[in-house]
Amino acid sequence: MSAPRRVLVVGAGGLSSPALRLLATSGVEQITLIDDDSVDESNLQRQTLYTDADVGASKIERAERALRALSSSLSMHAIEGRFLPGNAEQLLAENDLVLEGADNLATKFLVADAARLCGVPAVQAGAVRWAGWALCALPDSACLRCLFEDIPRDRIETCAEAGVVGPVVGVLGGIQAAFVYRLLGGERPGGELWHYDALRGALRRTFVRRRGDCPLCAGEIQDLRMERYTAACAA
């Protein structure tokens, strides 16, 4: 696997905001950002790309503006839309790595599945309230489904519903950016998992092993059927 130079970022929210700020000046050749949401006042405590003046505006438009202000030489492709089974493979074919900062489980599993099927590294994370995790999955390492087998049948609150503390996504987004930096430098941190608990002040690194019964690693998942992703796939 060659060092990734073109990075696809799914979602322009709390996790992606700190990661994008760091990637914009990291030396990546191109950032492709996809999101279909607009800035809400409630976003501002954790989504550091935006200000009061951005409320009501397109996240994609304002994120691109903020990132170009950081680096005028940045090559950026901004897409106002959703990461869906119908466009996932094309988007991944045009990039070397995907950094996922979605706010729902359906999109997280879609990114994991699509990245594995396309042979692209996936840097993923999730957070709610005071804690969260970040995982680097390479084409030959453990994946998200080795950690969480499938989308839970019971409804789980999203971070938008349950809330998430700003510093939590700040730390995890920084870890995601660090994964990208390490991949750029030729490292292979596949299966590396970081847990962060802000209430306890605890940051812990573990390693996820490929599970023999993982449907993605075992090749049981061969396509991206929409019905597999039970929630709306909104970034």
- Whether residue 1 is contained in a domain is answered as no
Give the active site residue among 159, 214, 217, 233: 159
**Residue 90 CB neighbours (<10 A):** 9
Using CA atoms, how far apart are residues 110 and 113, in angstroms rounded to an integer? 5
- Whether residue 55 is contained in a domain is answered as yes
What integer pLDDT is reported at residue 227 of this predicted model? 87
**Whether 126 contacts 108, CB under 8 Å:** yes
Query: What's the start-to-end Cα distance of the chain, in Å?
Result: 27
105 to 45, 86, 191: CA distances (angstroms)? 22, 18, 19
User: Known catalytic residue: 159?
Assistant: yes
DSSP line for 58-70: BHHHHHHHHHHHH
- Domain with residue 13: its CATH number is 3.40.50.720
CB-hemisphere CA count at 13 Å for 152?
A: 9
124 to 27, 40, 51, 151: CA distances (angstroms)? 20, 24, 25, 15
What integer pLDDT is reported at residue 233 of this predicted model? 46
- Whether residue 235 is contained in a domain is answered as no
- Whether residue 67 is contained in a domain is answered as yes
The per-residue pLDDT string of the chain (235 residues; one tens digit each, 9 = 90 and over) reads 555 689 999 999 999 999 999 999 887 889 999 999 999 999 999 999 999 999 999 999 999 999 999 998 899 999 999 999 999 999 999 999 999 999 889 999 999 999 999 999 999 999 999 999 999 999 999 999 999 988 876 555 555 566 788 999 999 999 999 999 999 999 999 999 999 999 999 999 999 999 999 999 999 999 999 888 864 444 4
Expressed as residue numbers, the domain containing 201 is 6-228
Secondary structure, 3-state, 161-183: HHCECHHHHHHHHHHHHHHHHHH
- Whether residue 234 is contained in a domain is answered as no
pTM score, whole prediction:
0.93
- Burial of 89 per CB tally in 10 Å (0-12, 13-18, 19+): middle
Beta strand spans in 1-88 (E): 6-10, 30-35, 76-80
The tally of domains found in the chain comes to 1
Tokens 């690693």 sit on residue: 217
Using CA atoms, how far apart are residues 5 and 7, in angstroms rounded to an integer? 6
What integer pLDDT is reported at residue 4 of this predicted model? 63
Tokens of 76: 């950026």
115's CB contacts (< 8 A; 6+ apart) are 92, 98, 121, 122, 137, 139
- Whether residue 147 is contained in a domain is answered as yes
As beta bridge partners, residue 137 has: 122
- Whether residue 233 is contained in a domain is answered as no
